Amino acid sequence: MKNRPTIAIGSDHAGFECKELLVQYLADNGYEFKDFGTFSSDSFDYPDVAHPVARAVESGEFERGILVCGSANGVAITANKHAQIRAAICWLDDIAQLSRQHNDANIICIPARFVSSQLASSMVELFMNTPFEGGRHATRVGKISC
């Protein structure tokens, strides 16, 4: 099996069902991961999971992250407050792949209300296994931080 990145994963209540399917997908496919919650479909504030996942990736404890909420906007906005995080909202395979190739994104944000579980799994697989191209893209990524 190829070397796979370690993953921090989390969701709010709207993303809970999708996150649970992704947790099973990660387990079935040999990924090392930590589930940061939520652990039910009860109302849950997305910053309460987005910050811990972002901190875990930012610190280097995990190489990549997955955040899931209804639209993916809340978790992306929150995660991107962290200086070393490049959280990308993805709703198509091509976008997930390009977020890695061109933006060196380290957290994928999935809009659970707008993608199927099959598409979510496919995007995660692409996101985890697509390398950053570097080159001209590295120059651009280097200009992101304030």
Tally of domains within the chain: 1
- Name the pTM for this structure: 0.96
Q: Are 10 and 35 in contact (CB under 8 A)?
A: yes
Which residues in the chain land under pLDDT 50?
1
Q: Strand 87-89's sheet: what is its strand order?
A: 33-35, 7-11, 64-69, 107-111, 87-89
Q: Does 146 map to a domain? A: no
Output the CA–CA distances (angstroms, integers) from residue 121 to 42, 55, 96, in the order listed: 23, 23, 11
Q: Would you give the distance in Å from CA 123 to the centre of its chain?
A: 10
pLDDT of residue 3: 81
Per annotation, catalytic residue among 13, 82, 90, 102: 102
**13 an active-site residue?**
no
Q: Does 72 map to a domain? A: yes
User: What does the pLDDT look like over 128-138, one tens digit per residue?
Assistant: 999 999 999 99
| Contacts (Cβ under 8 Å, ≥6 apart) of 3 | none
**90 an active-site residue?**
no
Residue 15 domain boundaries:
7-141
Per annotation, catalytic residue among 18, 69, 90, 109: 69
Q: Does 117 map to a domain? A: yes
Q: Does 1 map to a domain? A: no
CATH number, position 114: 3.40.1400.10
Q: Does 2 map to a domain? A: no
